[in-house]
A and B are shown apart, each in its own frame.
Chain A
Amino acid sequence: MGELLTSFLLSAADTAEKSGNVCECPHMAKLALTLVPLLPLLGFVINAFWGKKLTPKASGTLASLSIGAAFVCALIVTGHYVWYANGVAVESYNVSWFTSQLFGKEFDVNLGLRFDHLSVVMALVITGVGTLIHIYSVGYMAHDKGYWRYFAYLNLFCFAMLCLALGDNLVLLFLGWEGVGLCSYLLIGFWYEDEEKAKAGKKAFVVNRIGDLGFLVGMMLLAWHFGTLDTAELTKSAGELAKNTAELTQNQWVFNAACISLFVGAVGKSAQIPLYVWLPDAMAGPTPVSALIHAATMVTAGVYMVCRLSAVYALSTWVLPAIAVVGAATAIFAASIGLVQRDIKKVLAYSTVSQLGYMFMAVGLGAYTFAVFHLMTHAFFKALLFLGSGSVIHSLEHGYGHGNPDSQDLRLMGGLKEKMPVTCWTMVIGGLALSGVPIFAGFFSKDEIILSAWLSELGVGKPVWILGIGAAAMTAFYTARLIALTFFGKFRGPHHVWEHAHESPRTMTVPLVILAIMSVVGGLVNIPHNLAHGADNFAQFLSGTFTTPSFAQSHGEHDHTSAEWGNMLFSVVIAIGMFYAGFKYYSRDGALSRADAKASAGLKPVFTTLLNKYYVDELYEKVIVRPIRIGAQLFFVFIDMLLIDLVFVNGSAFVMGALSHLMRRVQTGVVSFYLYTFSIGAVILLLVLLLW
């Protein structure tokens, strides 16, 4: 180890001296990078095989240690990358996975990792927030009998997510993509005894398959056109192609098709319209899972993927504006549903969908840096909010009993500030960050996105801006509602629950506090330059990574100081105003019943529509799920049930007892039916053969 360290230091010094682009990555950095995903995998293996024999605490500690060690490794690599690597990506040891001919080209796929600017953010967020959530889970899952399964899945998820974020080619990215999907599926259905929850898992799975299909098609198109799936090479060839206008126009459809297909994949994974339906249902999983997978990391994979392929997206024409519109529409659509939801986790789930909409809005406007910035701050404050709500639920469950849905019902909360002060104040910080109140992290990132919309030269810029502002207003309102209903006013649930409610153990509150701190200071990495001569540090750091589409390139040329100030003041006023209004309204006693009464008076149609989430689930059920099921049923009834099941499977039960005369006759009948279809098929095929 000592030897390795020396060689690391020496070679680090070496690299620092070199100024060329050749990166002689020191082994230490390479090793650390390789270890980042492998450590959680190791944790998974140990927990999966021997977890049953460990105590819950040991199992949880092991899992937390493995991801914590990965965080340390990620820090080491980051240190090396930022200080020594001169902007040359760190590459891990890589193994040639398979080679094949594809589209007439030799096609190498490696198992290798690459660490660049974008990876710094992703790796640190995944391992950092991941570690906190693991620690939190030790407390949260202490009493669950499936603790070792839980920690094994959680570690496996981190492994897959790190593959997704660090993989140097799209195949590895897709592997991670599927892996996180699988873990999410397993964790949503973690409490599978509950039919509802198992169903939610299934729904997430099916919806994600649709997105995956898009991803696969997009990947195939890229492979076909570029002959490589290595992200760096893709970026390079796309950059060269951008200069070649003739070829670009000629193959325009390929880029548009590839980009939109990949975006379909992102829509599925990142829960955008129309494939967002799985995410609210995914709240059936344990709350830390919601925080890690369905708020901080996995759902942002779509945003990450589009950012990673920004060079390819720069080649498309109408795809980016379309993404902006989808993002903005999702932002306001989900935020409006969030206004009336009664389940604390459902509110946060719709809020996540809405915030992801903001990220896609930024991506679509070409403001990749702000998308990533918002991704990061969102990871902090949304994980905080989820963990806080988990803490509340955990505390109420002592009274209600485990798994009782009442423990998540906002109508039965209130006044918990007294019982759980740490949870309360950290969640208030998270709420302020989410609402975009100045100083807190969300303010900086969201404000930049809305500003980009205002400044955008795209035709959709202004409409997107309006939707964004509207969504911001709603966000502030429902956040305030959530916090007011949970912590302020009077407790509305049964008395014994109030008696049992208490602050959560240290393992749960410490991560909350850390995340609260991050939610405050997280935004300060990128103080916009109109404020206190802020230097846009984060944006500067990331700027070289992305290929800005042509329509967004002229930003720097004009002086937008007045627009910046105007926008900022406007959104601050809206955020604070709406937050204050929501808080005032809902922290008074009986606010909910008054709201319901009002709804039943004038606003009933709107209210019920919102409460029923615009009836989208019902629509999908009628238009998509049912026809498929009917088709399968038809197939099933005619071919399978009638001919095979009815006659054979059920029939053979009789045969087992005694080969009855009757059954033998039925059997002959059916074999002749088989032969009949055989012959018909043969005749048709022979005709096909002779005619074609």
Chain B
Amino acid sequence: MYPLLETLFGFDVFMPVVWLFLAAVVCVSIELGAKDRAGAKLPIFYAALGGVLLAFVSLFNTWGGAFEPHLILNGGVMIDRFGLFLCAGVLIGTALCCFTSLGAIDRLRIGLGDFLGLVLVAASGMLLLVTSYDLIMIFLSVELMSLAIYVLAGINRSSGRSAEAAMKYFVMGAFASGFLVLGMALIYGVTQTISLAEIGDALAAKDNAYRNVAMLGIGMVVIGFAFKVGAVPFHQWVPDVYTGAPTPVTGFMAVAVKFAAFGALGRFVVEAFPDTLGGEKFSPFGMGMFWAIAALSMVIGNWLAVTQENVKRMLAYSSIAHSGYLLMGIVAMQAYPDSLGSSDAMSAILFYLLVYAFGTGGAFALLTWTATDSNEDGGDLRGLAKRSPGMALAMSIFMLSLAGIPLTGGFIGKYMLFSSAIEAGEIWLAVIGILASIVGAFYYLRVIVLMYMKDPTPGEAEAKNADDWGVRFALLTASIATVVLGLMPNPFVARAENASVTISAPQQPAPVLNAAIPAAPSRS
């Protein structure tokens, strides 16, 4: 008999997704049943937070136990530490979004239940995306995530810019999904399989006549992901959508979507790319492409960010630049001559994602806090240090971290990424990255200067969000986490390494565990 408790907290039906989904249902139900919107806010918030926490508990439950990576849902979902680490990241982004939206929701003129319901559904799509192990699952979860986020981007119905952002994101997203699904079709056509590992094996066989077609397909899938992470030249939507979408949603997009898309991309590169040397080394296949995207993203993202006046828009460009740094990690992963080094590069990516999540998530939370009815972007940070020193300090920590200044997590993350790129032999890419990040330091520090060395704009009302404890909590957590990641990175780096070892160890077919699902009865 299958123990029910194991089902509820174990992974065989991938409980975190279920918890999030159930929480979404509860949120929407409370919203529907509530008499007044204001009274329903707190129960909805707690329901959503409860869902996230339960998902976390399920994650830790599995991470802590001694377990072998295994496939569930008939090979559709892979449970390994790599996926679990990324799930944790997605959940952090979701939790930050829950906290920041608590106060901001009043400006959006929509119920918190509808909002958080969509956030949780998107998050469950992301959890599936980072664990999915076949093409169908990848596509479905990408769409589950994206559809919810299209709606979220346009959820402020009274704002033209929000509607514009949603429309633009939707049109471009559909276009990118076209690439994604066409690429998958090409891959399937050649390899006759949808499982990532089998695709890699099939492509490694040199005698496949249509190998180039499959390569084209792989390239198209990568383009689909590159769109999601906002890498140049598929980045044009980022500034518009990030600026137009309500700020809590932007934070969610910047943190959780990046986690999910990079997780899926990383897994795709590791598993589906043809292995060489019998799985001892990652394939350098497609490195030229990644190289170009990474370099372009770092240079153009940073360069354009410098000229921005609007902080929200600047952060959008900065997110493009950070995608570039992370892609540099993927190049490093491919360029390493041995799989141990590659796993180092992968752990650098994971750690950097974590650092970036707190830095960017925190920065957007602050913009939520400073937003007013007249200035939804919360761009007016002038003299913030005089108005509320604590907030200015938190924002400074985020900016320093994003700029990669020592004693913050950003420094360690950048250090790991750049050192792995250099060690892998990609000196020039690292040089481009270092140059670009020096430019980057300029605009991040400019924000600090703005807060500390300018006088507040006259007439700028004292932030009326002062008692918004949700955002305050989010800011507090994110800034503490950023500093802790900078001062004591070792435990987190160790987790990231642990996570990437499971994915990059020489490939062995993972067992498909479907304990609850007996084999199909043979029909006779």
Of A98, A186, A205, A644, chain B has the most CB atoms within 10 Å of the CB of A98
Residues of B close to A678: CB separation below 8 A: 172, 175-176, 227, 233-234, 236
Q: Is the CB of A667 within 8 A of B164?
A: yes
Q: Which of B35-43, B67-75, B485-493 contacts A (4 or more CB under 8 A)?
A: B485-493
State which residues 259-310 of B face A: CB under 8 Å: 286-289, 292-293, 300, 303-304, 306-307, 310
Residues of B close to A636: CB separation below 8 A: 304, 307
Q: Is the CB of A652 within 8 A of B288?
A: no
Closest-by-CB residue of B relative to A686 is B219
Taking the nearest CB of chain A, how far is it from the CB of B442, in angstroms?
8
Interface residues in A, total, Cβ within 8 A: 60
7 smallest CB-CB distances across A and B, nearest first, come from: A681-B233, A692-B288, A655-B160, A689-B219, A175-B406, A192-B453, A674-B236
CA distance A193 to B383 in the complex (A): 12
Closest-by-CB residue of B relative to A213 is B438
Q: Can you pick out 12 interface pairs between chain A and chain B where the beta carbons lie within 8 Å of each other?
A: A174-B406, A192-B454, A213-B435, A220-B422, A635-B303, A640-B304, A671-B167, A671-B168, A678-B172, A686-B216, A686-B220, A689-B222
CA distance A675 to B175 in the complex (A): 8
Residues of B close to A209: CB separation below 8 A: 438, 441-442
* A535 contacts partner chain B, Cβ-Cβ < 8 Å: no
Q: A677-B233, A690-B216 are in contact. List 4 more A-B contacts (CB 8 A).
A: A149-B452, A175-B407, A224-B422, A681-B232
Of A52, A189, A220, A659, chain B has the most CB atoms within 10 Å of the CB of A220
* A104 contacts partner chain B, Cβ-Cβ < 8 Å: yes
- Quick one: CB contact mask for A112-152 with B, threshold 8 Å, 1 for yes? 00000000000000000000000000000000000001000
Residues of B close to A685: CB separation below 8 A: 219, 223, 233, 289, 292-293
Taking the nearest CB of chain B, how far is it from the CB of A631, in angstroms?
9
Residues of A close to B341: CB separation below 8 A: 101
CA distance A198 to B454 in the complex (A): 10
* B95 contacts partner chain A, Cβ-Cβ < 8 Å: no
* B434 contacts partner chain A, Cβ-Cβ < 8 Å: yes
Residues of B close to A659: CB separation below 8 A: 160
Q: Is the CB of A690 within 8 A of B406?
A: no
Closest-by-CB residue of B relative to A149 is B452
- Interfacial residues, chain B to chain A (CB-CB below 8 A): 159-161, 164, 167-168, 171-172, 175-176, 179, 212, 215-216, 218-220, 222-223, 227, 232-234, 236-237, 239-240, 244, 286-289, 292-293, 300, 303-304, 306-307, 310, 341, 344, 389, 405-407, 412, 415-416, 419-420, 422-423, 434-435, 438, 441-442, 445, 449, 452-455, 487, 489-490, 493
CA distance A639 to B237 in the complex (A): 13
Closest-by-CB residue of B relative to A676 is B236
Q: Is the CB of A671 within 8 A of B171?
A: yes
CA distance A206 to B416 in the complex (A): 25
State which residues 390-447 of A face B: CB under 8 Å: none
Q: Is the CB of A100 within 8 A of B216?
A: no
Q: Is the CB of A671 within 8 A of B287?
A: no
CA distance A688 to B294 in the complex (A): 14
* A31 contacts partner chain B, Cβ-Cβ < 8 Å: no
Closest-by-CB residue of A relative to B179 is A682
Taking the nearest CB of chain A, how far is it from the CB of B489, in angstroms?
5
* A601 contacts partner chain B, Cβ-Cβ < 8 Å: no
* A656 contacts partner chain B, Cβ-Cβ < 8 Å: yes
Given known contacts A98-B489, A632-B303, A689-B219, A189 and B449 CB-to-CB distance under 8 angstroms: yes
Q: Is the CB of B240 within 8 A of A644?
A: yes
Q: Is the CB of A178 within 8 A of B405?
A: yes
Closest-by-CB residue of A relative to B175 is A675
Contact of B159 among A48, A100, A656 (CB under 8 A): A656
CA distance A182 to B405 in the complex (A): 11
Closest-by-CB residue of B relative to A679 is B175
Residues of B close to A186: CB separation below 8 A: 452-453
Q: Is the CB of A102 within 8 A of B236?
A: no
Q: Is the CB of A632 within 8 A of B453?
A: no
Taking the nearest CB of chain B, how far is it from the CB of A13, in angstroms?
37
Residues of A close to B234: CB separation below 8 A: 678, 681-682
Of B341, B406, B415, B422, chain A has the most CB atoms within 10 Å of the CB of B406
Of A48, A103, A649, chain B has the most CB atoms within 10 Å of the CB of A649
Q: Is the CB of B219 within 8 A of A690?
A: yes
Residues of A close to B435: CB separation below 8 A: 213
Residues of A close to B449: CB separation below 8 A: 189, 192
Contact of A102 among B233, B287, B423 (CB under 8 A): B423
Given known contacts A213-B435, A671-B168, A690-B216, A98 and B412 CB-to-CB distance under 8 angstroms: yes
* A244 contacts partner chain B, Cβ-Cβ < 8 Å: no
Q: Is the CB of B289 within 8 A of A688?
A: yes
Of B244, B307, B453, B489, chain A has the most CB atoms within 10 Å of the CB of B453
Taking the nearest CB of chain B, how far is it from the CB of A654, in angstroms?
8
Contact of A198 among B215, B227, B445, B453 (CB under 8 A): B453
Residues of B close to A149: CB separation below 8 A: 452
* A570 contacts partner chain B, Cβ-Cβ < 8 Å: no
* A281 contacts partner chain B, Cβ-Cβ < 8 Å: no
Residues of B close to A52: CB separation below 8 A: 389
Q: Is the CB of A213 within 8 A of B434?
A: yes
Q: Is the CB of B288 within 8 A of A689?
A: yes
Taking the nearest CB of chain B, how far is it from the CB of A197, in angstroms?
10
Contact of B160 among A102, A649, A656, A686 (CB under 8 A): A656
Taking the nearest CB of chain A, how far is it from the CB of B55, in angstroms?
30
Contact of A644 among B164, B171, B239, B415 (CB under 8 A): B239
* A564 contacts partner chain B, Cβ-Cβ < 8 Å: no
- Quick one: CB contact mask for A199-225 with B, threshold 8 Å, 1 for yes? 000000110010011001000100010
